[in-house]
């Protein structure tokens, strides 16, 4: 696989990730069931008439992609690839409510048209007047990883040189109610939560949009090399070690070569066991976690990828993310491991650019 560089990174999340000094200003959140993204002033980026018709995930993605392209110095990418787990669920809920309220008659098609998962990639392309390859991946927690894999393959095959890749998910009232009812989201009585030693089921739910420009050439702004990606839909907890070891062996690495491991501890006692097993493989690496900063959601790995890019570029690890006391003098290789409720496991290997 040819070398692919991450040349810009932008993120809207529950942290203030659009401003400077990101690694120094991270604040954990462990006492609310649902945490909302810090949104920018959309009027600075999107005409007011359009804002009214856009769902939150489209607005977040439009601004995050704007920052990513601006940082990379690119006006039109050669492709736009977006990963999302839930898509434009606000408009989906509005459409379904219309169906019920109007007894399946006299329905306006607007909410239905805007509710499709590929609305985000389409709206970004419309805004840029970009007629290039436009694709959306809907693979729950590995949506971003599939998008990055597609971008990597396109660059390797010479189909594109610079690709805008993103991951986005929003919250909606009704979906959050249902998640509370089926215990996907933690009960009030289980808060505040200790992410690393939780004994209860459920998670704290977040949202956000992360966008990156990946390219074939290294630039002055390059954050990282996107070395390799591995995805598995199903994995037994006892297979975790082999899953990771095979990935490292394929890349001619051992556990000692990994300077930092970012794990997706979500505070769900049942599924966090995978991360606990993964920790045992890396006694000499800096072990980090991040969902106490972002919340859990389908594309939360976008936040960890964004943070990993900054760690590699700035060569510093935020104290608030540290599980152990290990700190390497130079951070060259970072391994990201994520899944959602025990399904759709992904490994992403980033190397210092």
- Are both 108 and 52 inside the same structural domain? yes
The pLDDT tens digits of the residues spanning 287-315 come to 999 999 999 999 999 999 999 999 999 99
The pLDDT tens digits of the residues spanning 42-96 come to 999 999 888 888 999 999 999 999 999 999 999 999 999 999 999 888 888 888 8
Q: Mean per-residue pLDDT for 200-221? A: 97
Does residue 312 lie within any of the structural domains?
A: yes
What integer pLDDT is reported at residue 251 of this predicted model? 96
How far is residue 20's CA from residue 192's CA, in Å, rounded to a whole number? 29
Q: Mean per-residue pLDDT for 305-332? A: 96
| Mean of per-residue pLDDT scores for the chain | 95
How far is residue 12's CA from residue 309's CA, in Å, rounded to a whole number? 15
- Are both 82 and 11 inside the same structural domain? yes
Closest residue by Cα to residue 306 from 274, 329, 338, 280:
338
- Are both 38 and 136 inside the same structural domain? yes
What integer pLDDT is reported at residue 114 of this predicted model? 79
- Can you give the length of the chain in residues? 353
- Are both 165 and 75 inside the same structural domain? yes
- Please state the pTM of the whole predicted model: 0.95
- Are both 193 and 255 inside the same structural domain? no
The residue range of the domain holding 315 is 225-352
- Are both 235 and 208 inside the same structural domain? no
Cis peptide before 192 (omega within 30 of 0): yes
- Are both 198 and 124 inside the same structural domain? yes
Does residue 54 lie within any of the structural domains?
A: yes
- Are both 267 and 202 inside the same structural domain? no
Does residue 160 lie within any of the structural domains?
A: yes
Does residue 229 lie within any of the structural domains?
A: yes
> 215, 234, 251: which is the final residue of a domain?
215
Closest residue by Cα to residue 301 from 348, 243, 247, 334:
348
Does residue 230 lie within any of the structural domains?
A: yes
- Are both 163 and 240 inside the same structural domain? no
Crossing angle between the packed helical segments 56-72 and 89-101, to the nearest 10 degrees:
160
Q: Is the distance from CB of 215 to CB of 163 less than 8 angstroms?
A: yes
> 215, 238, 262: which is the final residue of a domain?
215
Q: Which residues fall within 8 angstroms of residue 319, CB to CB, at 6 or more apart?
A: none
Q: Mean per-residue pLDDT for 13-18? A: 97
2 pLDDT higher than 80: no
Q: Mean per-residue pLDDT for 117-123? A: 94
How far is residue 1's CA from residue 345's CA, in Å, rounded to a whole number? 21
> 189, 215, 241: which is the final residue of a domain?
215
- Are both 295 and 234 inside the same structural domain? yes
CATH number at residue 306: 3.40.47.10
- Are both 147 and 47 inside the same structural domain? yes
Alpha helices in 211-251 (DSSP H): 240-250
In the chain, the largest separation of any two C-alpha atoms, in whole Å, equals: 65
Would you call 87 exposed, middle or buried from its count of C-beta atoms within 10 A (0-12, 13-18, 19+)? buried
Q: Which residues fall within 8 angstroms of residue 255, CB to CB, at 6 or more apart?
A: 248, 281, 282, 283, 284, 285
Closest residue by Cα to residue 278 from 310, 233, 247, 309:
247
The pLDDT tens digits of the residues spanning 265-274 come to 999 999 999 9
The count of structural domains within the chain is 2
- Are both 138 and 187 inside the same structural domain? yes
């Amino acid at each position: 696989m040819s070398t692919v560089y991450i040349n810009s990174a932008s993120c809207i999340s529950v942290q203030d990730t659009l401003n400077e000094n990101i690694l120094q200003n991270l604040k954990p959140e462990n006492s609310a069931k649902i945490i909302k993204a810090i949104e920018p002033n959309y009027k600075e980026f999107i005409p007011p008439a359009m804002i009214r018709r856009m769902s939150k995930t489209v607005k977040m993605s439009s601004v995050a992609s704007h920052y990513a392209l601006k940082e990379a110095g690119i006006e039109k990418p050669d492709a736009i690839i977006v990963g999302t787990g839930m898509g434009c669920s606000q408009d989906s809920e509005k459409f379904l409510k219309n169906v019920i309220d109007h007894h399946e008659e006299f329905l306006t098609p607007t909410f239905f048209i805007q509710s499709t998962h590929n609305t985000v990639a389409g709206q970004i392309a419309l805004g840029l007047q970009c007629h290039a390859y436009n694709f959306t991946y809907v693979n729950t927690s590995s949506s971003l990883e599939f998008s990055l894999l597609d971008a990597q393959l396109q660059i390797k095959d010479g189909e594109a040189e610079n690709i805008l890749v993103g991951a986005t998910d929003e919250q909606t009232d009704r979906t959050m109610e249902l998640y509370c009812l089926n215990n996907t989201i933690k009960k009030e009585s289980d808060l505040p939560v200790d992410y690393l030693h939780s004994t209860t089921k459920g998670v704290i739910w977040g949202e956000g949009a992360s966008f990156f420009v990946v390219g074939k050439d290294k630039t002055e702004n390059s954050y990282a090399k996107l070395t390799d990606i591995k995805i598995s839909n199903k994995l037994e907890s006892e297979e975790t070690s082999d899953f990771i070891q095979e990935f490292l062996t394929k890349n001619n690495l051992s556990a000692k070569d990994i300077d930092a491991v970012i794990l997706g501890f979500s505070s769900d006692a049942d599924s966090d066991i995978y991360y606990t097993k993964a920790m045992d493989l890396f006694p000499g690496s800096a072990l980090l976690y991040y969902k106490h900063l972002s919340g859990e959601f389908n594309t939360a790995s976008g936040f960890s990828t964004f943070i990993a890019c900054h760690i590699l570029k700035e060569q510093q690890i935020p104290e608030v993310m540290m599980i152990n006391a290990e700190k390497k003098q130079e951070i060259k290789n970072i391994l990201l491991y994520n899944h959602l409720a025990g399904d759709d496991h992904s490994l992403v290997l980033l190397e210092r650019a």
